[in-house]
Chain A
Amino acid sequence: MKRMSTDVLVIGGGSTGVGVAWDAALRGLRVILVEKRDLTHGTTGRYHGLLHSGGRYAVKDPQSAIECIEENRILRRTHAHCIEDTGGFFVVTPEDEGDYPDRFKAACAKVGIPCEEIPLREAFRREPLLNPRISRVFEVPDGSADSFLATHVTAQAARQAGAQILIYHEVIDLLTEGGDGDRRVVGARVCDVVRGEEVRIDAAITVNAGGAWAGKIAAMAGVPVNVIPGKGVMVAVNHRLVNTVINRCKMPADGDILVPVHTVAIIGTTDERVSDPEMLTIEPWEVDLMLQEGDKLVPGLSRSRILRAWAGVRPLYQEGYTGESRDATRALALLDHRRRDGVAGFLTITGGKWTTFRLMAEKTVDKVCEQLGVERPCLTATTPVPGAEQGHYWLGHRLHEVEEARLQGDLICECELVTRAMIEQAVANNPTVTLDDLRRDVRLGMGPCQGGFCTFRAAGILHELRLHAQETQAQTDVNGGPPWNVAYLQSPRHSVQTKPAAFNPKVSPLDNPNLLLRDFLQERWRGLTPVLWGRQLKQERLDELIYLTIMNVDHLPEDGEASPLTEFWRFDAAGAKEDGQ
């Protein structure tokens, strides 16, 4: 068995885990992070896209609100290119209760969130599709954030500071030593999912940043952690109906936020307690509710083209809590299992939000340092990650760059403007095991046709790369690899300017591009079935003709092979069967 050792082992490649790895590496600790699939495969890649101002929590959960506004200010500097400065409105619709708006305003003032009531005329000028019956509008510094990019660049920053990031590495057991009252976690047994090998990692301290899976992971050390998995459903509209984040000005509830993210607008979310964090089934009533509530913000939203729906699971944690997940606190929870459970060398960081991931990491690594007996200050609040020099995200950036560099002929995903060079760079520089990894890297297949035209093109490129690699035999291993310029992964211009790094089959195995094609289509399909009507149905009919009638992909040889994505899209189908549906 391969054996590695480190100061800090971080479990989970969501925003929190990657933040911890970054922070710890900047403080000079040796760090290994393991993620069972791709970075952001968990909740971080399935969230709503809102950089909170804290307004949502000002009345109900002031501690969360304070954390949000402070982190909001910091991330706008450290992760500038991942954030679009949309601003946010809190709007009072005819249904919203009487004194909440005034309480909201007072609460914002109290916790230090800039909040200004703006004239209705001004609000409607900026957002013409808003419900004309809205009676008051407050403006706050909300933003919209790309968690895929943010997590990738944070991981890059961590690597540059010396951390090792191992994706497709799943913790299957925690290693403990000592008996009752004197137990400690000394590392983990990890499975390299792609190669099917086991790795033993010895660590002075193990940090459980498993999000909604944190309970399962802690259980491996015999520690009970009651994470409340709160499932939330989101529905994306084909293009931006608004350019400002729109929140209902009322106690947080379902379907009350509309966020413009890149080229789409997302209405969300629900909050349902579920039994398993992988239980991402979307019920029809959830979609209906989102559309109904969406209409209250932008009347007509329900009749516009709906692109897809997806669900994520909140890692909510409240010691001893048994109530509704909606009412559980959003504040972060750092569990020191030495004090809590008498198990040393083991911390769990959960709760919180994307917006507060940096703060969660800071608190966690403070505790790590304390337990390791070292004294090093946190640097993340003042250290911009690679690429922040590009400034705030701008909606038109891809269109602009494609035109400037005349790359229209190289487009693979036409909807989201992904060029061939972007895909080749991503495959060469960023471990790629499935086509879904490329979606998270460059937004492949996220546009209106949902992979209709780009999936087969991308699969063709993978075939080419593989054949080419067999001829040229590239070398370099996962961590000594080429400089990882993920900060510009989303830039069409940069991808052609940079010399392509050698593609390494050890990093990106691409064993069976046909299988990857099938799995990616299934993954896209999974998000389409809940919203299959009207214009998106027309689109899917065309996509169906392309793949089933012309390419006959449903008769790809069934050789029993599976990619890590196969398991994922099959999970739902299996779950549905068990429920007898």
Chain B
Amino acid sequence: MAPVSWHSVDLTLDECIKCNICTSHCPVSAVTDLFPGPKYVGPQAQRFREGGQSRSPDHSVDYCSGCRVCNEVCPTGVRIAELNARARAQIVAEKGLPLRNRLLGRNELLGKLGSFAPALANFALHNAFSRFMAEKVMGIAREAPLPTWSTSGTFRDWLKRTRDRRLKSDKKVVYFHGCATMYYEPFIGKAAVVVLEHNGYEVIVPEQNCCGLPLLSNGEFNAARTYHHNNVSRLAGYARTGLPIVGTSTSCTLTLKEEAPELLDYHDEPATTLKLGTYDIFEWLRELYEAGELRTDFQPLPLKLPYHAPCQQRAHRIGKPALELMALIPELDLAESHARCCGIAGTYGYKVEKYQIAMDVGAELFEFVKAQGQDVRYTACDSETCRWQLEHGTALPSRHPIEILAAAYGLYDLERRDVVAGKR
């Protein structure tokens, strides 16, 4: 894909000084020869891809998981993961996309469909026979940690049901829940709402779309553009009036902040306003804390808690605010993971040819959790797919830090994953 403007991420290839630091950190090239590494497929291959070439010269770039560890370590600021994503999009534009990737890219649609009859959908998706068929027919690895649909209704159902109990206030914040919270894990949204309300904020949950990341990472840029366009038109207005837009899914917020505008070369005023007004929920809560406005009436949580800041969170380049705030909770014994990646990287580890790579990548993290000893009951991680992978790799339940915070406020039951009755 030729650079279409001087804003294009493609041009960051010029920053590369060939130092190989990215290659020595890439978790994928460390475990498989099928992937030649970030420097090779990124800034280097890009010089051979430019131009209206009739076909893409290379395809191994498809093995990049998009974890962005390379971006994190590159000393000169090459946007390697984005270069790779664009190269993949070019391949998709040429070759078309297998049904599997189309499905995996349409998280939101799947979520909606399953929610009509979640119990049935869960059975249909999770029995051994259909997983076997899914692998054979579509190439979705049968062992991969697919989510289950919420059987107690969607997040929006809950909002509607509890409409009368929701806080009204002059202080307002906009919540971006993302597809996973909507259809699979409504309790994450509940935890977020009660934490925000506990701090005196009214939570606005506008109509919203999938952020489009699954489409972006599967190379369907045109469809992603439509999604992003919808979100921009629904949300930019709030950002313009100065309301923060916060999200619990680190990948959704990253997409609104950075991935969609950069990958799609989408830089108009509303998109930029939305980009600047979007926060990871802990990023924003930390700002409250620093302003002395965060309530710290935490109850002790006597737990040993290994915490993994997922790649998509680290890509925000905001430090680890969830870790900082959880550290305020009395008796919570946090252990910080320095593993590079859990391996799943969105939908990467679902694909049969990549399942084992994802598990090998994740081994570093799984080992870390194991090393914390027998009395660990939960792990914590901000990203949904990473939590599912963590659970798959360690057999321990995993929680979002917002659930931990809600529990410490005494508003949330960590085991049942629901707000405590009577507390809103």
Contacts and interface: CB of A to CB of B under 8 A. Distances in A.
B59 to A, nearest CB: 7
B15 interface: yes
A394 B76 contact: no
Interface stretch (B43-51, B108-116, B180-188, B220-228): B43-51
Interface of B is mostly: loop
B80 to A, nearest CB: 14
Nearest to B36: A408
Interface in A426-440: none
Contact of A263 (B2, B3, B47): B47
B contact residues, range = 35 or more
Interface in A514-545: 535, 538-539, 542
A414 B44 contact: yes
A44 to B, nearest CB: 24
Of the candidates B33, B39, B51, B55, the one having the most CB atoms from chain A within 10 angstroms of its own CB is B51
A474 interface: no
Given A399-B58, A408-B36, A452-B18, A129 B6 contact: yes
A408 B58 CA distance: 12
Of the candidates B15, B33, B40, B48, the one having the most CB atoms from chain A within 10 angstroms of its own CB is B48
Contact of B48 (A241, A260, A263, A448): A263
A397 B57 contact: yes
A403 B3 contact: no
A399 B57 contact: yes
Interface in B1-30: 2-6, 11, 13-19
Contact of B15 (A243, A399, A449, A535): A535
Contacts of B17: 448-449, 535, 538-539, 542
Contact of A304 (B14, B43, B55): B14
B6 A243 contact: no
Given A128-B4, A403-B57, A414-B39, A453 B18 contact: yes
B50 A449 contact: no
Contact of A535 (B2, B14, B51): B14
A400 interface: yes
A537 to B, nearest CB: 10
A243 B52 contact: yes
Contact of B76 (A239, A396, A406, A538): A538
B58 A400 contact: yes
B374 interface: no
A contact residues, range = 35 or more
A414 B60 contact: no
Contacts of A129: 3, 5-6
B36 A400 contact: no
A305 B18 contact: no
A287 interface: no
Given A128-B2, A305-B14, A542-B19, A403 B58 contact: yes
A238 B6 contact: no
Contacts of B16: 448
B5 A396 contact: no
B337 interface: no
Nearest to A401: B57
B127 interface: no
Interface of A is mostly: loop
Contact of A396 (B3, B4, B58): B58
Contact of B53 (A304, A395, A414): A395
Nearest to A304: B14
A103 interface: no
Interface string A344-363: 00000000000000000000
Contacts of A406: 33
B270 to A, nearest CB: 23
A80 to B, nearest CB: 16
Contact of A399 (B18, B19, B45): B45
A300 interface: yes
B18 A449 contact: yes
B2 A243 contact: yes
Nearest to A305: B14
B56 interface: yes
Interface string A456-487: 00000000000000000000000000000000
A289 to B, nearest CB: 22
Interface of B: 2-6, 11, 13-19, 33, 36, 39-40, 43-53, 55-60, 76
15 contacts: A239-B13, A395-B50, A395-B53, A396-B53, A396-B56, A399-B45, A399-B48, A399-B57, A403-B57, A415-B18, A447-B47, A448-B17, A452-B18, A538-B17, A539-B18
Interface of A: 126-129, 238-241, 243, 260, 263, 300, 304-305, 394-400, 403, 406, 408, 414-415, 417, 447-449, 452-453, 535, 538-539, 542
Given A398-B48, A399-B49, 8 more contacts: A300-B6, A305-B14, A394-B53, A396-B56, A403-B59, A408-B40, A415-B47, A542-B18
- 5 closest A-B pairs by beta carbon, nearest first, are A396-B57, A305-B14, A399-B48, A400-B57, A243-B51
